[in-house]
Chains A and B, each alone.
Chain A
Amino acid sequence: MRFFSALVLTLFMIFMLSTAAFAGGGGPPKNFQKGVFLEVDRAAGTALFQASGSDTPEVLMLGKEVDVENISLEHKVMVTLEEKEGKTYAKKVETMFLDLSMSKFITLMVVGLVGGMLSGFIGSGGAFVLTPAMMSLGVPGAIAVASNMCHKFPKALVGTYKRFKYGQVDIKLGLTMALSAIVGVQIGVTVQKAILNAWGNAGSNLYVSVVFVVVLVVVGGYVFRDAIRLSKNDADDTASPLALKLQQLNIPPMMNFKTAGVRISAWVTLPLGLATGMLAATIAVGGFIGVPGMIYVVGASAMVASATELLIAFVMGAWGSLQWGLDGLIDIRLTLLILSTSLIGVQLGALGTTYVKDYAIKLVMASVMLIVAISRGAKIPGYLGDLELITPLEPFTASVLNFISFWALVAALGTAGIIITTVMVRGMMQARREERAALAEEA
């Protein structure tokens, strides 16, 4: 019976993974082309476009949304295409590689440092602010996502290595979660596409935002309450009642996770990984689900869960980078600029965990989740307006909401940076005091 269940599960995973591989689940959009414009005919609203890898230039119709005056003939561009009445229209034209000024250099490095610290400490984070930050600097959306993804896996690799050395990573749990999450991403993308087809872009945006806000508020609120309760008693973590109940379920194959100190059925861990992947495909921040999932459903400590999440981020980041890289969307300059500081930040965050109790990790995670929820919540009225469910927003209101949305993300990162630094410094000072006291005792 045990063998049979294990076989069924393995076959299921192989099948789903191969489907995901062929369908390119969670990968980049396909309706674009990279290349250069050779000539623009403003009067006719057309342009001669030479796509990368093609020998013959083609004539593109320029859509209404395209700013013809600003089309450059020197820079490589990314053109989003749309088929209308048998003709190919350029819907959007974006410069692929932005010129990096000193202020952009510094912005990316600062965000990288704090994002890295957050990652090292709670297992994920940084991406939620890095992608919008890059886009606000003028990087096309797809390039921002791809370059960010390619920065995620080396950072997670270094973080995993450090936290593994501290004895906090459960490799088996991480790999189980990561593989099932990749499958989950595929399912999530299918759902997402169905929604896009049914309700269009605004509907899809609204759906994503509502799921995002609801999930982050509910899960973040729960984690926050738990963190406060533990901090009041200055207590260490204990497994949640739900996790304890699930651990009693004796449905083979049972899985033993040594570092997490948990024995639990694969029928719990695999669906959890699937759900994490599905949500990651929808709201793009898998760690905010994966870490609480490992804590409250599997029963791992916040320390082990956040460390194991780094391994998951490595696997998923490498997988994602491969897919986005196959379409040639990674701007390695952006990736490396962020890495220059985030590889240091992630190690700082990782060593910080050795000085704190579990609730500090939960507190940081919950604070970030709740502030990020505000950021996304501020976008909902705009999407409701686009769908004409409410009166469309005044331009002023829309710009205020956009301002709130962006700066809430920055605030989330700032708050995380401050909390992590504070708890870490406090922990280090206490450790020094203890060390000195021990030495005095010895003498």
Chain B
Amino acid sequence: MAQTTATKKKPYLQTILFGALSLASYILLFVNEEWVTETYTMGGYYVVYPIVTAFWFSLIHGAFGSNLLSTLGLEAKMTKKK
């Protein structure tokens, strides 16, 4: 039988791993709220902080989101190759 999206193995482990990593990052940041808001808004070279943080979250939280949607069975429709 052909493999369908419904029978594909769902990425539970990845969802949990990336979810935990992302949650830990969020907690770390919000627990140190005062230091973070102060340092991140010092301007000049400190611009690296918000930019790198934004990239970091796009990576791990983005991966979490992608796996979460797959776990929920929300997958893109595969386009037929011409």
Partner of B42, one of A328, A344, A427: A328
A-B contact count (CB 8 A): 120
Q: Is B76 an interface residue (CB 8 A)?
A: yes
Overall SS of chain A's interface: helix
Q: Is A80 an interface residue (CB 8 A)?
A: no
C-alpha spacing A333/B27, complex, angstroms: 11
**In the complex, are the beta carbons of B54 and A154 less than 8 A apart?**
yes
A residues near B4, Cβ cutoff 8 Å? 435, 439
Query: Which 9 residue pairs across A and B have the least CB separation, nearest first?
Result: A154-B58, A328-B43, A325-B47, A344-B65, A328-B41, A158-B62, A351-B76, A354-B76, A354-B77
Return B82 CB to nearest CB of chain A, in Å: 11
Of the candidates B5, B44, B65, B69, the one having the most CB atoms from chain A within 10 angstroms of its own CB is B65
Chain B interface (Cβ within 8 Å of chain A)?
Answer: 1-2, 4-5, 26, 29-30, 33, 36-38, 40-44, 46-47, 49-51, 53-55, 57-58, 61-62, 65-66, 68-69, 74-79
A residues near B61, Cβ cutoff 8 Å? 339-340, 343
Tally A residues with Cβ within 8 Å of B. 48
A residues near B75, Cβ cutoff 8 Å? 351
Contacts A52-B42, A330-B40, A351-B69 given; does A340 touch B26 at CB 8 Å: yes
Contacts A97-B37, A166-B76, A351-B76 given; does A321 touch B65 at CB 8 Å: no
**In the complex, are the beta carbons of A348 and B69 less than 8 A apart?**
yes
**In the complex, are the beta carbons of B37 and A333 less than 8 A apart?**
yes
Q: Mark A70-109, 1 if CB is under 8 A from B, else 0.
A: 0000001000000000000000000011000000000000
Can you report 8 residue pairs joining A to B where beta carbons are below 8 Å apart?
A52-B42, A166-B76, A321-B50, A325-B46, A333-B30, A336-B57, A343-B57, A427-B77
Return A345 CB to nearest CB of chain B, in Å: 8
Q: Is A322 an interface residue (CB 8 A)?
A: yes
**In the complex, are the beta carbons of A343 and B53 less than 8 A apart?**
no
C-alpha spacing A355/B4, complex, angstroms: 16
Return A106 CB to nearest CB of chain B, in Å: 15
For chain A, residues 319 to 335, give those with C-beta under 8 angstroms from any C-beta of chain B: 321-322, 325-333, 335
Contacts A325-B51, A328-B43, A348-B69 given; does A431 touch B57 at CB 8 Å: no
Residue of A nearest to B78 (CB): A354
Q: Is A359 an interface residue (CB 8 A)?
A: no
Q: Is A347 an interface residue (CB 8 A)?
A: yes
**In the complex, are the beta carbons of A154 and B46 less than 8 A apart?**
no
Contacts A348-B74, A431-B77 given; does A331 touch B41 at CB 8 Å: yes
**In the complex, are the beta carbons of A344 and B47 less than 8 A apart?**
no
C-alpha spacing A52/B2, complex, angstroms: 64
Of the candidates B1, B37, B68, the one having the most CB atoms from chain A within 10 angstroms of its own CB is B37
Residue of B nearest to A330 (CB): B50
Q: Is A151 an interface residue (CB 8 A)?
A: yes
C-alpha spacing A337/B49, complex, angstroms: 16
C-alpha spacing A407/B26, complex, angstroms: 31
Return A295 CB to nearest CB of chain B, in Å: 20
Partner of A34, one of B41, B47, B79: B41
**In the complex, are the beta carbons of B41 and A330 less than 8 A apart?**
yes
Contacts A150-B54, A435-B4 given; does A332 touch B37 at CB 8 Å: yes
For chain A, residues 273 to 305, give those with C-beta under 8 angstroms from any C-beta of chain B: none
A residues near B49, Cβ cutoff 8 Å? 332
C-alpha spacing A382/B2, complex, angstroms: 63
B residues near A318, Cβ cutoff 8 Å? 51
Partner of B36, one of A52, A151, A332, A340: A332
Q: Is A45 an interface residue (CB 8 A)?
A: no
For chain A, residues 150 to 175, give those with C-beta under 8 angstroms from any C-beta of chain B: 150-151, 153-155, 157-158, 161-162, 165-167
Contacts A158-B65, A347-B65 given; does A339 touch B54 at CB 8 Å: yes
Q: Is A442 an interface residue (CB 8 A)?
A: yes
**In the complex, are the beta carbons of A326 and B44 less than 8 A apart?**
yes
Q: Is A395 an interface residue (CB 8 A)?
A: no
C-alpha spacing A155/B38, complex, angstroms: 24
Other than the given A155-B58, A351-B69, 12 more pairs (CB < 8 A) read A150-B50, A157-B58, A162-B66, A328-B44, A331-B40, A336-B26, A339-B54, A344-B68, A344-B69, A347-B69, A350-B76, A435-B4
